[in-house]
Chain A
């Protein structure tokens, strides 16, 4: 996308000066029709001669690669590739975005795991191939921004270009023949539209009167002054204006506006680079942890207190702002007739360096402390149980979080009892039903998410829990590979327990008491110092985008000679308003103000 490579890229809104000033070169009007062409056949035929790669040397080779990479064609190709490369990640469950889906998928298609892993299909967005595409794209982008910024900075200081000799060749021009100086009574208008589908203007007959030269020079100055006033009036009509007298004695105005179009375009592209850099910085500096907090319990912001913790390469444990948090209460509201969730609120007490405060955390309303945000990601019930082992010693006592499975909080969980003083380890696995209902013998279900009649429905396993090898285990699943289920004949023994009840476990394993039900919340703590920059970059990109799409870039000229006021205009991109703007300029110069009082310079370049 280097500016000297015009064939592959013509920056939008940047008139290509050579074509315009050198009148003998291409017709400037043709540039306009090209950008709006629907046939694709208007591309100029003369391709630049292709040099063979072999005889340009190493530096030449590098330059060749750079040229290719920064050409619009390659950028387009990379864009399309990026779109295509993003798609597999929406079809194949991604390890990081959808861990559950990923686990299900590898269980279902074990034979695919190996080569999917090789192709990084479970990590598409961090894969080598995906990264390669966007890194190349950003190199291409930078290669496009740099030279264009240089050109644009020069253009910002430059004067509006020379006045074309013949306005007829411009896509829009308008001529008002005032006859004798200032006598606006006899007017002849001739105009052609840039758009052949637009209204055609008839040519009126003119009746020129002889005029006096002195008066003419006076009125010429007046016309010019009026034209300049028009071009500078209104905040959207800030043309850069230069006036001069041509050798022929004609007075002209040259004017240009819409530099902000290219400014916006550059802003957009630079902001995209900013976005990439901020996201990358965020990856390196962020941390994220999950913690499950049971009502009444506390938590300290230290790595060890998290259930899971993950951080970027440049993360420093010192960044963890030391605070303590206690979950005082958790409120959930459900609608009676269909159990739809209405509202969740966690009430917490924060102890930040000795200063305590009461706060709330809600869905959509994370709590911010010391640069980190705390999100309410989930909630559920933790039955409070006491388990004694065969020897009658308390082996486990406290709340055990169960994971809700559905809208009525049918929750799954395990109670693992590894620390037995004698006998085998054992575990219970099953469901918690907040409001139990028994539709049929031996069948229970939950009918409401609130704990109106909580019940535990469990089966019992004994053997080796597999916890001693130090292999991380899912706390919510029971690894039954080395355990046997306690059965009664052919059927597994089902233990059904209401709050306040206690039961002797079969085979003399011990006792289980269901003492109460606590609520817990799943909190996500995250710190990403780059967020503000990500936001600023994206908003800047959007603003730049709107500027570069909706600000028309126009060049206008006005020539006054012998009582004839003639205006011409050129726009590099499709510009519906050009014709009217040119007419308005001519009229403003001739009569002091446009006849049609609708302002032609709306932002949308109407």
Chain B
């Protein structure tokens, strides 16, 4: 077995660890305050069950954290081995991009969570990371290999490295925004999110009680989530700016022009503009909160499309996906 194969196995292991962590994080979330305290229980029982759920919360969080850390270590090992196998920075095609991007997202989450105690983000982050890694392994996987002459440059390390990083950080920002929007709807009395189904013009449209997101109550307020999202997204925006600049410098050397409106360039530009609009929207009074949140979702959709659609559908100079 060679380094590349071991790397693949470790990557599968990473996905497994994240999946387990996600389950534990989810248990931690839904056994939150709002969910267990049911009203018809006698008082002593309530206290006891409160205590019990408190213990369960602590325990599930502990498990989630340890499995997550284990997953991160395996993840790092997998990426490093991949680099060894290919004899270059391990982020030159879509498969590697997905794997390294999820690593960045998870790492950013761990760093933010340690400083701000936002462990509630663990479930979505590990969920997204698991999905991305599995998609990468099953759909985008290519054999570890060197790269063509056009990519033999230290800009591969910088430009693509920062692009991967930026994408990972954007992912965390987007998840904060999703929670912010959910929490905001919940607080404003969304019946759908309270497990009462949805109604339109007095008539029930959706009679689902499945969607009972009472755990949202244990999250910080929407405004705090919004600020967290802004912090993370502004870091990602700076990284993205650097991605564009370094890409342009590289393009000047590799393709003989720094900007030529190649599909990847167009969409990177669109992403940049949408997030720029988001930052500006936040500065005006009428566009704060929910609306700014929607812009984050639009921006992230563009990031995703730039990565998937542009690589797979359009035929540009950036066709390095290896798929």
User: Are A546 and B238 closer than 8 Å at their CB atoms?
Assistant: yes
In the complex where A12-B283, A40-B290, A366-B256 touch, is A83 in contact with B274 (Cβ < 8 A)? yes
Complex CA–CA separation, A203 to B150 (angstroms): 65
Partner of B245, one of A39, A91, A279, A539: A539
Q: Is the CB of A39 within 8 A of B289?
A: yes
Stretch of B7-15, B41-49, B258-266 on the interface side: B258-266
Decide: A10 and B115 in contact? CB cutoff 8 A: no
B217 at interface by CB-CB < 8 Å: no
Any A CB within 8 A of the CB of B280: yes
Task: Give the segment of A112-120, A206-214, A357-365, A483-491 that binds chain B.
Answer: A357-365
The reply to whether A10 and B285 contact each other, CB–CB distance below 8 Å, is yes
Q: Pick from B155, B238, B270, B283: contact of A83, CB below 8 A.
A: B270
Q: How far is the CA of A75 from the CA of B255 in the complex (A)?
A: 33
Report yes or no: B270 in contact with A195, Cβ–Cβ below 8 A: no
Least Cβ–Cβ distance between A280 and chain B, in angstroms: 13
- Residues of the B chain whose Cβ atoms lie less than 8 Å from the Cβ of A39: 184, 188, 222-223, 289-290
Q: Please, which residues of chain A bring their CB within 8 A of the CB of B241? A: 541-542, 545
Which of chain B's residues has its CB closest to A534's CB?
B258
Cα distance A321–B286 when bound, in Å? 56
Nearest Cβ distance between residue B275 and chain A, in whole angstroms? 10
Contact check, A340 vs B258: say whether CB atoms are below 8 A apart: no
In-complex Cβ contact of B226 among A7, A36, A362, A363 (8 A) = A36
Is A341 located at the chain interface by the 8 A CB criterion?
Answer: yes
CB-based contact A377/B281 at 8 Å? no
| B153 / chain A contacts, CB cutoff of 8 Å | 364
Asked if B307 is at the interface of the complex by the 8 Å CB criterion, the answer is: no
Asked if A42 and B288 sit within 8 Å, CB to CB, the answer is yes
Stretch at the interface among B61-69, B198-206, B227-235: B227-235
Contact residue among A12, A36, A98 (Cβ-Cβ distance under 8 Å from B227): A36
Of the candidates B258, B288, B315, which one forms a contact with A37 in the assembled complex, judged by CB atoms under 8 Å apart? B288
CB neighbours (8 Å) of A534 from chain B are 258
Question: Cβ of B221 < 8 Å from any Cβ of A?
Answer: yes
The answer to whether A36 and B274 touch across the interface, beta carbons within 8 angstroms, is no
The smallest C-beta distance from B235 to any residue of chain A, in angstroms, reads 8
B314 interfacial contact with A, CB 8 Å: yes
Are A373 and B256 CB-contacts (below 8 A) given A38-B180, A39-B184, A342-B149? yes
Query: Is residue A44 contacting chain B, with contact meaning CB distance below 8 A?
Result: yes
CA distance A558 to B255 in the complex (A): 58
Query: Is residue B224 contacting chain A, with contact meaning CB distance below 8 A?
Result: yes
B139 at the interface (CB under 8 A from A): no
For residue A366, which residues in chain B have a CB less than 8 angstroms away from its CB? 253, 256
CB under 8 Å from chain B, chain A span 247-305: 279, 288
A79 and B285 in contact, given A531-B252, A539-B245, A549-B238 (Cβ under 8 angstroms): no
**Out of A124, A363, A546, which one reaches B254, CB within 8 Å?**
A363
A581 CA to B260 CA in the complex, in Å?
47
Q: Does A11 contact B (CB under 8 A)?
A: yes
Cβ-neighbour of B286 out of A12, A43, A83, A279 (below 8 A): A43
How would residues 323 to 361 of chain A score, 1 for a CB under 8 Å from any chain B CB and 0 otherwise?
Answer: 000000000000000001111100000000000000000
Q: Is B288 in contact with A526, judged by CB distance below 8 angstroms?
A: no
A-B contact count (CB 8 A): 178
Which of B115, B221, B256, B291 contacts A40, CB < 8 Å? B291
> Which residues does chain A contribute within 8 Å of B106, judged by CB atoms?
none
B109 at the interface (CB under 8 A from A): no
Within 8 Å by CB of B149, from A11, A73, A82, A362, lies: A362
The distance from the CB of B247 to the nearest CB of chain A, in whole angstroms, is 11
Min CB distance A376 to B, Å, is 9
Grouping DSSP codes into helix (H, G, I), strand (E, B) and loop, the A interface class, with mixed when no group exceeds half, is mixed
Expressed in whole angstroms, the Cα–Cα distance for A546 and B235 within the complex equals: 8
Name B169-209 residues within 8 Å CB distance of A.
Answer: 180, 183-184, 188
Q: Could you tell me if A79 and B280 are in contact, using CB atoms closer than 8 angstroms?
A: yes
CB-CB under 8 A from B280, the residues of chain A are: 72, 75-76, 79
Contact mask A194-210 → B, CB, 8 Å, 1/0?
01110000000000000
B residues in contact with A344, CB < 8 Å? 149
Query: Known: A12-B283, A38-B180. Is A33-B288 also a contact (CB below 8 A)?
Result: no
CA distance A288 to B261 in the complex (A): 17
| CB under 8 Å from chain A, chain B span 73-108 | none
Interface residue total, chain B, C-beta cutoff 8 A: 74
B2 neighbours in A (Cβ, 8 Å): none
Separation of A534 and B287 alpha carbons in the complex (Å): 32
Task: Tell me the smallest distance from the CB of A308 to a CB of chain B, in Å.
Answer: 13
B254:A526 contact, CB within 8 angstroms: no
Query: Within 8 Å of chain A (Cβ to Cβ): is B135?
Result: no
Please determine whether A80 and B269 come into contact, CB atoms closer than 8 angstroms: no
Chain A residue contacts of B52, Cβ below 8 A: none
- Residue in A closest to B220 when the chains form the complex, CB atoms: A197
- Closest A residue to B188 by CB, please name it: A39
- Chain B positions 121-180 with a Cβ under 8 Å from a chain A Cβ: 145-146, 148-150, 152-153, 155, 180
B277, CB-defined interface residue at 8 Å: yes
Beta-carbon nearest neighbor of B270 in chain A: A83
Task: Name the residue of chain A whose CB is nearest to the CB of B224.
Answer: A197
Q: Is the CB of B310 within 8 A of A38?
A: no
B225 at the interface (CB under 8 A from A): yes
Q: Is the CB of B289 within 8 A of A40?
A: yes
Q: Which of B148, B155, B234 contacts A549 (CB 8 A)?
A: B234
A373 cross-chain contacts in B, Cβ below 8 A: 256
**A117 CA to B183 CA in the complex, in Å?**
48
Contact with B along A459-493 (1 / 0, CB 8 A): 00000000000000000000000000000000000
B262 to chain A, nearest CB (A): 6
Contact between chains at A526 and B256 (CB < 8 Å): yes
- Is the CB–CB distance between A37 and B245 below 8 Å? no
Smallest distance from the beta carbon of A585 to chain B beta carbons, Å? 22
The answer on a CB contact under 8 Å between B238 and A38 is no
Whether the Cβ atoms of A38 and B276 lie closer than 8 Å is: no
Nearest residue, chain A, Cβ from B283: A12
Kindly state whether residue A25 has any CB partner on chain B within 8 Å: no
- Near B by CB (< 8 A), chain A positions 299-321 give none
Q: Show the binding face of A for B, using Cβ within 8 Å.
A: 7-12, 33-44, 72-73, 75-76, 79-80, 82-83, 86-87, 89-91, 94, 96-98, 101, 124-125, 195-197, 279, 288, 340-344, 362-366, 373, 375, 377, 524, 526, 531, 534-535, 538-539, 541-542, 545-546, 549-550, 574, 576, 604, 606
**Shortest beta-carbon contacts, A-B, top 7:** A38-B222, A40-B289, A90-B266, A83-B273, A375-B256, A43-B285, A90-B263
Since A83-B269, A83-B273 are in contact, a sample of 19 more A-B pairs with Cβ atoms closer than 8 Å, ordered by chain A residue number, is A10-B283, A12-B283, A36-B223, A43-B288, A79-B280, A80-B277, A83-B274, A83-B277, A86-B266, A90-B266, A91-B314, A195-B224, A341-B148, A341-B149, A363-B149, A524-B256, A542-B238, A549-B238, A549-B279
Which residues of B approach A to under 8 Å, CB–CB?
115-116, 145-146, 148-150, 152-153, 155, 180, 183-184, 188, 220-227, 230-231, 234-235, 237-238, 241-242, 244-245, 248-250, 252-263, 266-267, 269-270, 273-274, 276-277, 279-291, 293, 302, 310, 314-316
Name 14 interchain pairs, CB-CB below 8 A, sorted by A.
Answer: A10-B285, A35-B288, A37-B226, A37-B289, A79-B277, A83-B273, A83-B274, A90-B266, A96-B260, A340-B146, A344-B149, A363-B150, A364-B153, A606-B115
